[in-house]
Amino acid sequence: MEKDTERKIIHVDMDAFYASVEQMDYPELKGKPVAVGGNRQRGVVAAASYEARKYGIHSAMPSKIAASKCKDLIFVKPRFERYRALSQQIREIFFRYTDLVEPLSLDEAYLDVTENKMGISTATDIALEIKKSIKEEIGLTASAGVSINKFLAKIASDYRKPDGVFIIKPHQVLPFIEELPIEKFFGVGKKTAEKMHKLNITTGADLQSKTLKELVKYFGKQGRYFYSVSRGEDYRRVNPNRIRKSVGAENTFNESLKTKSEIWEALQPIAEKCWKRYKQSDANAHTITLKVKFDDFKQITRSKSFNEAIESANTFDKGLESLMDSFDLNQAVRLVGCSLSNFEIDEKVGDNGQLTLGF
């Protein structure tokens, strides 16, 4: 296993990707607060423009709450085919520099540029070139983080948003982490942060002061992760063959559904979309999941697993029907979704040599 300091990792994160695409394609939206997804009465915000974020609007926020925060908020219907097409163009830019590209979603990816196709001596210069190409060829801005591992690169990409670059060089790693608020550590959510504060852990330095035994005692298996990353250690490789764990589809309805027959009817086009995505993937799923969200935003899921891979739409349909029968629907439903998971795929990871380059 190579040392962290021998690797050069870039994390590229598009700036408010969905909302920025809408503002690019429809100039009348530029400079205005835009929410992609939902409407003023129902649904959930999938993405918010930076103008909307100034009002405290963010992704996953119920649309009704978002609308109450900004009376001028403009809701736009998502166009995922458009986002996917642009995402592919952005990845083609990445591949000019390295084949070690690990997409995390349509709008972000890790790149290992320890060795790069262009012979560029520093990862920082590569990040700047990538940002410039995305802007000139596609018309969008991206932010980039550059460091010695995935954990630090991802944190760094958020430091100069939007349209920024932030570098954490090898000799800066420990001083940077020591001052890092624990809320900035990936894997530290609201509840974990509250627990850490009760233990007087507020910065990376506080985490470093704890022994492995103490952190495991407080946080279980996650304690090992906190122990490592607080010391700048993250040996995960950039995996270009990153496996998708599931395929699914869901929909939030304009009018709440009150009966099982209504829900089952509404589920049909959602299931068709899910099955189509599944057949387009190189996967064999063993688990079907049905998700329902009620008007009070309470969410429940039911899953059914099979010994053999799910190969027919009929098996999928009957599985969903069985799961639907298991639900006790005593209140109106606002969202229904389904997914196929528990994939049976061979993971192939190349063993690439690493060279030390400057930052």
Dist CA 77 CA 39 (whole Å): 8
Dist CA 13 CA 145 (whole Å): 8
Of the residues 22, 51, 102, 108, which is catalytic? Answer: 108
Structure token digits, residue 15: 């700036």
Chain segment 212-255, per-residue pLDDT in tens: 999 999 999 899 999 999 999 999 999 887 666 789 999 988 88
Q: DSSP assignment of 280-337, as one string? A: HSS----EEEEEEEETT--EEEEEEE-SS----HHHHHHHHHHHHHH----S-EEEEE
Whole-angstrom CA distances from 87 to 29, 237, 249, 343 are 21, 22, 19, 24
9-14/108-112 β-pairing:
antiparallel
Dist CA 223 CA 334 (whole Å): 37
- Smallest CA-to-CA distance from 358 within 93, 103, 116 is with 116
**pLDDT per residue rounded down to tens, the chain (359 residues):** 455 568 999 999 999 999 999 999 999 999 999 999 888 888 889 899 999 999 999 988 999 999 999 999 999 999 988 999 999 999 999 999 999 999 988 899 999 999 999 999 999 999 999 999 999 999 999 999 999 999 999 999 999 999 999 999 999 999 999 999 999 998 888 889 999 999 999 999 999 999 999 999 999 989 999 999 999 999 999 988 766 678 999 998 888 898 888 999 999 999 999 998 888 877 889 999 999 998 888 888 999 998 888 999 999 999 999 999 988 888 899 999 999 998 874 433 333 333 334 55
Dist CA 104 CA 33 (whole Å): 26
For 313, other C-beta atoms within 10 Å of its C-beta total 14
Q: Are 19 and 58 in contact (CB under 8 A)?
A: no
Dist CA 95 CA 291 (whole Å): 37
165-167/34-36 β-pairing:
unpaired
- Smallest CA-to-CA distance from 303 within 278, 285, 282 is with 285
Question: What's the length of the chain?
Answer: 359
Confidence at residue 242, expressed as pLDDT on a 0 to 100 scale: 65
Confidence at residue 349, expressed as pLDDT on a 0 to 100 scale: 36
- Smallest CA-to-CA distance from 49 within 79, 75, 84, 88 is with 75
**255 classed as catalytic:** no
Q: Are 34 and 76 in contact (CB under 8 A)?
A: yes
Instruction: Using DSSP, state whether 50 is helix, strand or coil.
Output: helix
**Owner of token pair 């930052």:** 359
Confidence at residue 280, expressed as pLDDT on a 0 to 100 scale: 80
Chain segment 51-102, per-residue pLDDT in tens: 999 999 998 899 999 999 999 999 999 998 899 999 999 999 999 999 999 9
Domains and CATH numbers, the chain: 17-79 (3.40.1170.60), 174-229 (1.10.150.20), 246-341 (3.30.1490.100)
* Residue 69 CA, distance from chain mean position: 25
Q: Are 230 and 203 in contact (CB under 8 A)?
A: no
Main-chain phi, psi angles of 293, to 5 degrees = -120, 130
Instruction: Quote the pTM value.
Output: 0.73
